[in-house]
């Protein structure tokens, strides 16, 4: 073992999903090593077993070899790693749980582009399979500010291309099939024979893995096990630069899929997933499903899948996610939790058995089968529901809105704003909150305004300043917060919502339905005068 002297590198502060930086930064001297040592110093590696894998982006393979050497030098007894250092985030979460390990390291910057000049990331998941909580990531950050040495063994690369067991300086390295255990888990939750029968009956699907990690998972599960036609899965080979794609499954970045689903001869069902496989977008022929609606439909129909036939214990959604799921929870008579943005807040609810299904407006849905959101899981649950209900996606959505009403919803992102301008805007908005109730504009009257704070019902921990909420008397809502995952300046996220009870007014275009709410948001937050921005960069 070698101990290398180092010194702190500024800015190694993990955000909501681990440490994300430009790849050249991560490849800089001691950068990866310092952060990995900080992880091991906080978690402790001696005698422990970890899972390791990543989404296959540029530097994934090299980083894996460094992390293996450091795990061995820090006294870990075993690392379970996906073949080729590949593991989707949900598959990693599952392997951590299945093997009762002490946690895992996932190499990914999620939906951010990958490549020599794009993004890289490292995050630690705990033994429950979920992202490290704030206290732990804070401790890691603190450690990076005081680090002076790291430990690494000198060795040849471990051959990660072959499944099987080897040794690295006394540590066991188990290279496993990244897909097999995950696919078995999916088979235990969903009615694979019903879905296979649907495909056999001519049901057509398009699955776009966006040249990212879910390709091998999708091909194995959809084409091989469920018998979807060959070619159903596209962009199914994970590439170091994701083929130049921006692997974020939303209508902007998965435009080719949207065009196909809204074109002539569209397949019955389309889906896409992100860089590390935890996000999903689903779309029917001519029918886009917003993530907030997807969560609500999945919650209302989950009992149709074998893994959820006993019903749900509760539903949880992040605060900016629309209240569509709340209406389903109310009608099912189950609890609905509203948490801050970020999957880690769902972990305690899932561990405590208070919630079964969770979701975020940012194309994330999942359940208590793992402790991460899970793109393919959501896609398979939709397929199971479609196989049982034998209706189109459009018909299922229309019935859902007819029963519960429709929460029109959209998110507008303003990217790469100078951080000081974004901070000034949020500070001014926060300062104005108490004066807002009663304000009238665009035919709307402000009922309440606050800065969302959350007390975890399981461990009592408090998270403050999670986003500004402005609620109007008609139930419309505006939420503003700054992204915690961006790598360039600040990203302002503006979330817009308006409820229509129906039966009329259920088929408007969301941007039209939300127009007054959008104008009110710009007026209240003075977005243009603070940031110079009027038009969002991404609308979802």
Which of 251, 342, 405, 467: binder of ligand G1P (CB under 6 A)? 342
Residue with tokens 């090299």: 62
CB of 110 to ligand G1P, least distance (A): 5
Q: Considering the rule CB under 5 A, would residue 110 count as an interface residue with Zn ion? A: yes
Tell me the C-alpha distance between 393 and 401, whole Å. Answer: 12
Tell me the C-alpha distance between 344 and 337, whole Å. Answer: 14
Q: Which span sits near ligand G1P by CB under 6 A: 194-202, 332-340, 349-357, 358-366?
A: 358-366
CB of 334 to ligand G1P, least distance (A): 22
Which residues between 159 and 178 bind ligand G1P (CB under 6 A)?
A: none
Measured from each CB, the residue nearest to ligand G1P is 483
Binding mask 148-187 for Zn ion (x = CB under 5 A): ----------------------------------------
Catalytic-role residue among 17, 88, 108, 110: 110
Tell me the C-alpha distance between 433 and 203, whole Å. Answer: 51
Which of 61, 248, 274, 368: binder of Zn ion (CB under 5 A)? 274
Tell me the C-alpha distance between 532 and 153, whole Å. Answer: 51
Residue 11's SS3 state is coil
Q: Considering the rule CB under 6 A, would residue 410 count as an interface residue with ligand G1P? A: no
Q: Which span sits near ligand G1P by CB under 6 A: 65-73, 74-82, 91-99, 482-490?
A: 482-490
Residue 205's SS3 state is strand
CB of 441 to ligand G1P, least distance (A): 26
Q: Considering the rule CB under 5 A, would residue 276 count as an interface residue with Zn ion? A: yes
**Judged by CB, which is closer to ligand G1P: 84, or 342?**
342
CB of 515 to ligand G1P, least distance (A): 23
Q: How many CB atoms lie within 10 A of CB 100?
A: 8
DSSP track, 340-381? -SSTHHHHHHHHTTS-SEEEETTTEEEETTSSS--HHHHHHH
- Distances, alpha carbon 204 to alpha carbons 160, 230, 431, in Å: 36, 11, 53
Q: Considering the rule CB under 6 A, would residue 493 count as an interface residue with ligand G1P? A: yes
Q: Which span sits near ligand G1P by CB under 6 A: 80-88, 337-345, 402-410, 516-524?
A: 337-345
In the annotation, is 110 catalytic?
Answer: yes
Q: Considering the rule CB under 6 A, would residue 21 count as an interface residue with ligand G1P? A: no
Residue 212's SS3 state is coil
Which residues between 32 and 71 bind Zn ion (CB under 5 A)?
A: none
**Judged by CB, which is closer to ligand G1P: 40, or 253?**
253
Tokens of residue 448, six digits: 């309440």
Residues in the chain: 540
**Residues in contact with 206: Cβ distance below 8 Å, sequence separation at least 6, in sequence order:** 232, 234, 257, 260, 261, 267, 269, 270, 271
Q: Considering the rule CB under 6 A, would residue 16 count as an interface residue with ligand G1P? A: yes
Phi and psi at residue 80, to the nearest 5°:
-100, 120
Tell me the C-alpha distance between 371 and 125, whole Å. Answer: 9
Q: Considering the rule CB under 6 A, would residue 362 count as an interface residue with ligand G1P? A: yes
Which residues between 88 and 127 bind ligand G1P (CB under 6 A)?
A: 110
User: Which 3-state string (H, E, C) describes 437-460?
Assistant: CCCEECCEEEEEEEECCEECCCCC
Q: Considering the rule CB under 6 A, would residue 343 count as an interface residue with ligand G1P? A: yes
**Judged by CB, which is closer to Zn ion: 278, or 326?**
278
**Judged by CB, which is closer to Zn ion: 366, or 405?**
366
CB of 275 to Zn ion, least distance (A): 6
CB of 472 to Zn ion, least distance (A): 32
276 binds, among ligand G1P, Zn ion, none (CB under 5 to 8 A by kind): Zn ion
Tell me the C-alpha distance between 73 and 41, whole Å. Answer: 12
Give the burial string for 129-153 (b: 16+ CB within 10 Å, else e).
bbbbbbebbeebbebbeebeebbbb
CB of 204 to ligand G1P, least distance (A): 30
Tell me the C-alpha distance between 34 and 29, whole Å. Answer: 9
Q: Tell me the site size for Zn ion, rule CB under 5 A.
A: 5
Residue with tokens 């599952």: 94
**Judged by CB, which is closer to ligand G1P: 267, or 342?**
342
Helices (DSSP H) in 201-276: which residue ranges? 214-218, 255-261
CB of 509 to Zn ion, least distance (A): 28
The two most distant CA atoms of the chain are separated, in Å, by 70
- Distances, alpha carbon 330 to alpha carbons 298, 334, 471, 489, in Å: 15, 6, 20, 40
Q: Which span sits near ligand G1P by CB under 6 A: 206-214, 323-331, 357-365, 507-515?
A: 357-365
Which of 41, 208, 268, 278: binder of Zn ion (CB under 5 A)? 278
CB of 483 to ligand G1P, least distance (A): 3
**Judged by CB, which is closer to Zn ion: 199, or 343?**
343
Closest residue by Cα to residue 120 from 45, 50, 34, 62: 62
Residue 388's SS3 state is helix
Q: Considering the rule CB under 6 A, would residue 17 count as an interface residue with ligand G1P? A: yes
What kind and span of H or E run contains 4?
A: strand 2-5
**Judged by CB, which is closer to ligand G1P: 484, or 502?**
484
Binding mask 272-311 for ligand G1P (x = CB under 6 A): ----------------------------------------
Footprint of ligand G1P (CB under 6 A)? 16-17, 110, 318, 341-343, 360, 362, 364, 483-485, 493
Residues assigned a catalytic role: 110
Footprint of Zn ion (CB under 5 A)? 110, 274, 276, 278-279
């Amino acid at each position: 073992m070698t101990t290398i002297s180092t010194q702190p590198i500024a800015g190694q502060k993990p955000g909501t999903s681990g440490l994300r930086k430009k790849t050249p930064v991560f490849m800089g001297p001691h950068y990866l090593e310092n952060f990995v040592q900080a992880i091991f110093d906080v978690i402790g590696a001696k005698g422990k077993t970890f899972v390791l894998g990543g989404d296959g982006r540029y530097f994934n393979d090299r980083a894996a070899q460094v992390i293996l050497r450091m795990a061995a030098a820090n006294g870990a007894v075993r690392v379970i790693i996906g073949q080729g250092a590949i593991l989707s985030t949900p598959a990693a979460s599952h392997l951590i749980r299945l093997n009762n390990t002490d946690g895992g390291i996932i190499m990914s910057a999620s939906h951010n582009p990958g490549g020599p000049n794009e993004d890289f990331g490292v995050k630690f998941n705990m033994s429950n399979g979920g992202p490290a909580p704030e206290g732990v990531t804070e401790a890691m950050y603190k450690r990076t500010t005081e680090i002076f040495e790291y430990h690494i063994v000198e060795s040849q690369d471990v051959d990660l291309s072959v499944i099987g067991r080897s040794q690295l300086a006394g540590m066991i390295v188990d290279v496993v099939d990244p897909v097999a255990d995950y696919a078995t888990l999916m088979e235990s939750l969903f009615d694979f024979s019903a879905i296979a029968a649907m495909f056999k009956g001519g049901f057509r699907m398009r699955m776009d893995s966006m040249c990212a990690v879910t390709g091998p998972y999708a091909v194995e599960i959809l084409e091989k096990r469920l018998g979807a036609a060959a070619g159903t899965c596209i962009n199914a080979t994970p590439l170091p630069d994701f083929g130049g794609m921006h692997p974020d499954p939303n209508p902007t970045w998965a435009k080719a899929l949207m065009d196909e689903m809204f074109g002539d001869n569209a397949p019955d069902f389309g889906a896409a997933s992100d860089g590390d496989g935890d996000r999903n977008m689903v779309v029917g022929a001519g029918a886009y499903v917003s993530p907030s609606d997807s969560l609500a439909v999945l919650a209302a129909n989950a009992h149709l899948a074998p893994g959820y036939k006993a019903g749900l214990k509760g539903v949880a959604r992040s605060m900016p996610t629309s209240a569509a799921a709340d209406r389903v929870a109310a009608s099912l008579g189950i609890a609905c939790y509203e948490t801050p943005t970020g999957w880690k807040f769902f972990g305690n609810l899932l561990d405590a058995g208070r919630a079964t299904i969770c979701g975020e407006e940012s194309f994330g849905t999942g359940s208590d089968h793992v402790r991460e959101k899970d793109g393919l899981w959501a896609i398979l649950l939709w397929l199971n529901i479609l196989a049982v209900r034998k209706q189109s996606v459009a018909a299922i959505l229309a019935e859902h809105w007819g029963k519960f009403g429709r929460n029109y919803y959209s998110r507008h992102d303003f990217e790469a704003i100078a951080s000081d301008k974004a901070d000034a805007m949020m500070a001014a908005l926060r300062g104005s909150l108490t004066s807002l109730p009663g304000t009238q504009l665009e035919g709307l009257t402000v009922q309440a305004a606050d800065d969302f704070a959350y007390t975890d019902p399981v461990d009592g921990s408090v998270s403050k300043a999670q986003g500004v909420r402005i609620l109007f008397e008609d139930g419309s809502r505006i939420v503003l917060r700054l992204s915690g995952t961006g790598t360039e300046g600040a990203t302002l996220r503006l979330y817009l919502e308006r409820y229509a009870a129906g039966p009329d007014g259920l088929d408007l275009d969301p941007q039209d339905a939300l127009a007054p709410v959008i104008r009110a948001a710009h007026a209240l937050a003075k977005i243009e005068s603070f940031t110079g921005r009027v038009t969002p960069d991404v609308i979802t």
